Structure 1
């Protein structure tokens, strides 16, 4: 009941956030099938289709993204 309640209280940001794919990164995203299972469970919990994606190397993706941001700030 938490997620549907949160969605009702914050409908506009909810629609914006869930209208785009959710990116899963980090070591846990390296577990085979985790992305698909997370997508299925979240879709069921929210009663709508949710797209979940993960990069080719999820273990280092966050660090690579942070490095790109840092390069722009220097």
Structure 2
């Protein structure tokens, strides 16, 4: 993802979910970004523009040990 796109997603997550969230570029991947709170990895945001309509999906795994 481009830096300006990551900034927009970062602002959206901060405003919508939690001001402590940080969206970061992924190394060697340009179709997604990583989501963190502090050093804790939360999940990945994927960019989808195959159908001509741009959309994003957020994927977060929750381990039973974390519950």
TM over 0.5: no
Looking at secondary structure, tell me which structure has more helix per residue. Answer: 1
Q: Greater strand share, 1 or 2?
A: 2
Instruction: Please state which band the TM-score falls in when normalised by the shorter chain.
Output: 0.3 to 0.5
Larger radius of gyration: 1
TM-score by length of 1: 0.33
TM-score by length of 2: 0.35
